[in-house]
Amino acid sequence: MSLRLKLNLLIALVILTFTSTMLMLELMGTRRAVSEEIEAANRVATQLLSRVTLVYANTGSPALVDFLHRLGRVRATEIRLVDGDGVQLYASPPTPYKAGRDAPDWYSDAILPRNPRQEITLADGAKLVVEADASRAILDGWDEAVRLLIAGTIALILGNALVFWLVGRATRPFNRIVRGLEQMRAGDYHTRLEELPGREAGSMAQAFNRMAQSIEDNMTARQEALEARSHLEENRELTQFIQSRIEEERRDIARELHDEMGQAVTAIKSMGLSIARRDVQSDPRSAEAAQLIVDTADHLYDVMHSIIPRLRPLALDNLGLEDALDDLVAEWRRHHPHMQFELRMSDLPEAPGDSFKLAAYRIVQEAVTNALKHASAGKIMISLRGTEQFLHLTVEDDGSGLAEGWAHKRGHHGVRGMRERAQALGGELDVTARDGGGTQVVARLPLE
């Protein structure tokens, strides 16, 4: 049921209860009043007629009949005189008050179940019957009850009509709120309610507008977040693509250096050795120049071979991640004999993809390079441990550690590059201070 119907039923119940209570009180009051009146009237009439019969005892019934005719009707009393044979000699005339009308029998029985009756026996055997007649008083009570019932019915109809109209007017703003909620449910989050009349409706409208604004703001923020996530994914894909192309170019350059440049430098060295051996006796100056060419070729060969691993670790393509890292650490030990390097590897995946191997290799290479350049470390520890789903990579040093507020300063392109490599694979990377001093780089790369 609607609120409007519930309020109307409640008002109707209140009016019915009030009317029923008033009818019950009216019934009880009428019953009490009629009982008292009939009892008093019957007592007076009985006492009076008892005295009268004594006066007319010697004259007989005809004189008493003449007296009763002159007496006429006594209020609320029926008087009859019958002789010894049961023939009625006198009966009270009918009352002119509300003549021809009587209250319903059920109402009369409820007010006065039985009328008091007295019989007075005369000397000649005649009987004077005095019986209370409450029909007029009961009819008055019935008329009052009918008027009260009519008034209650009118009050019920008019009251419900008035309440129905007032409640409809008071709840009319709720229909606007319902329409606004339906529009919100349909996806129109720009819906707003105008100022509604009434304190409750106005408060609900304000709450609705605040809710709608909050939902719209959340939807806007969610849309912006989705767009930002989409842009981030696009940037990651672009970054991964660029890194892939850069690595391809590095690999090609490294192979060119190893194959073409290596052969050319070897040829130059061979020709220089040949000239030096040929002219060592005949032309010492020419032999000395040739030896200088040989030494320069040796230096160029060493520089070239030191550049190749930085461009593309060929061992990574030919041997795998574990051997490539062994070669890388060996190279560091050769160039930094005063430092201690520790490499621990366990449960490495057998055949990870090229992007995975290259990302792990570059993260280790960049982390160690940063430690060598900036940390003034004496020991660098590298750990790689594989699980069913991830490769856990850790690079620690015992150097000077991170500067205060380093993460908020500009630069740190190496750290950003390591993090982007990890994120491009769906992993994560953290750079934190190491317990006991130094820096710790921790990466977690998914194997899938």
pLDDT in tens, 349-400: 775 677 788 888 889 988 888 888 887 888 999 999 988 888 899 999 988 8
Tokens of 126: 């005649």
Report the C-alpha gap between 355 and 362 in whole angstroms.
10
Sign of CA dihedral 33, 35, 38, 39: negative
- As a whole number of angstroms, the distance between CA 445 and CA 393 comes to 8
Enter the tokens of residue 315: 């061992």
Quote the percentage of the chain above a pLDDT of 70.
Answer: 90
Task: Give Cα separations from 326 to 54, 309, 447 (angstroms).
Answer: 152, 12, 21
Query: How many Cα atoms occupy the beta-carbon half-sphere of 222 within 13 Å?
Result: 6
User: What is the per-residue pLDDT for 382?
Assistant: 92
Q: Is the pLDDT of residue 226 over 80?
A: yes
Measured distance CA(229)–CA(432) in Å, rounded: 26
133-144 pLDDT per residue, tens? 777 777 788 888
Write the pLDDT tens digit of every residue in 267-288: 888 888 888 778 777 777 887 8
- Residue 221 corresponds to which tokens in the numbers above? 């923020």
CA–CA separation, 407 vs 292, rounded Å? Answer: 50
Residue 241 reports pLDDT greater than 90: no
Q: What would the two tokens of residue 184 be? A: 């919100």
Alpha-carbon gap, residue 37 to 134, rounded angstroms: 8
| pLDDT score recorded for residue 410 | 63
**The pair of three-digit structure tokens given for residue 430, joined into one six-digit string:** 């953290």
- pLDDT of residue 103 exceeding 60, the answer is yes
Q: How far is CA 222 from the centre of its chain?
A: 17
What pLDDT sits at residue 393? 92
pLDDT at 123: 67
Give the pairing type, strands 379-386 and 340-346: parallel
Residue 152 clears pLDDT 60, i.e. is over it: yes
N- to C-terminal Cα distance for the chain? 59
pLDDT of residue 315: 65
Banded model confidence at residue 441, pLDDT cuts 50, 70, 90: very high
